[in-house]
Structure 1
Amino acid sequence: MEGKSTIVTRLVLPGMLNDQGILFGGNLLKWMDEAAYIAAKRFVSMRLVTVSVEKVKFHRPLYQGEILELCCYVKRTGNVLLEVEVKVSSECKQAAEKMLAAKGIFKFAAVDECNRPVRISTSADCIAQPV
């Protein structure tokens, strides 16, 4: 089951860089997790937590001034888990086209107010059921 895509845009600023003038990978991972969460939350409107980050690959370094586009979509849902794919493209200062910068898979679990797993429902009328 595929959901609609969610797109988040970020600008790489000076305070986000390492000593080599390249974006810290941890900053990008954080943004990817946040964007994936937004896509998952829009898809199910339930309480969610990140349970794993898989197959993350950085394809190219990112520099100050680059505009990033984080495109996410719900790739798969199970009873409790949602899988969101995130692809990060960058608009380089030198090139007019977008280039793949990173991608990864983020998995989220639906939980109740005590952080216990609950069944995922994509219907707004349904209430989460304990697993």
Structure 2
Amino acid sequence: MTDLMETLVENREMVQPNHANMLDSAHGGNVMKWMDEVGAMSAMRFSGETCVTARVNQMNFERPIAVGDTAHITAYVYDAGESSVRVRLITEREDPRTGEREKTTESYFVYVAIDDDNEPTTVPELTVSTDEGARRRERALANEQREYRNRD
């Protein structure tokens, strides 16, 4: 599986009191963990290999996810190197009663595919065969570059 749209993974986590900080919203560490897990699923779907986290780009928490709401996480592969896989991750706060969503967090993770000896192994070339896939890839590349420029 090497097409961008085939790497699309979505998952939801209900924010429970044990996931919350003292403000009754999802603790940032839990959100990051959930994003990392969904991103790894996308990277593994793409590569057909076990993937480990190599880098997390800047992560801004734009708004909270309250206890009782759902963290809706979307991930997809938008680029790949020899053994590395770049994944865009977006988390949205979702009201489980209405389905209303708003973005809370976005980041770009890099995973490395590893073999049975835990050594880096090659990944396939990413293909983009749909207009939606092309739009997603262009958006990810543009947003990632904007993040790098804003670091200075």
TM-score in terms of structure 1 length: 0.84
RMSD across aligned positions (CA)? 2.1
Measured in 2, the distance between the counterparts of 1:107 and 1:47 equals 13
1:84 aligns with 2:92: no
Matched residue, 1:3 = 4
Could you tell which deviates more after superposition, 37-46 or 109-118? 109-118
Distance 1:21 1:98, change over 3 A: same
Shift of 1:86: 0.4
Output one character per residue of 1:55-110: Cα deviation in whole Å (capped at 9) or x when no partner. Answer: 21111011101112101110111111000000011124797631001011111111
Q: Which runs of 4+ in 1 moved over 6 A?
A: none
Task: Tell me which of 62, 66, 70 is aligned to 2:69.
Answer: 66
Listed as ranges, the matches of 1:101-112 within 5 Å are 101-112=104-115
Match of 2:20 in 1: 17
Structure 1: tracts of 5 or more residues without a match: 124-131
Q: Where does residue 115 of structure 1 map in the other structure?
A: 118
Structure 2 CA distance, aligned partners of 1:47 and 1:97? 34
Question: Which letter does structure 2 place at the counterpart of 1:109?
Answer: V
Gaps of 5+ in 2: 127-152
Map of 1:100 onto structure 2: 103
- When the two structures are aligned, how many residues end up with a matched partner? 123
CA contact (8 A) 1:32 1:70 kept: yes
Scaled by the length of structure 2, the TM-score of the pair is 0.73
Q: Indicate conservation of the 8 Å contact 1:87/1:102, yes or no.
A: yes
Task: Determine which structure has the larger strand proportion and give its number.
Answer: 1
1:51 aligns with 2:60: no
Deviation at 1:112, TM superposition (A): 1.7
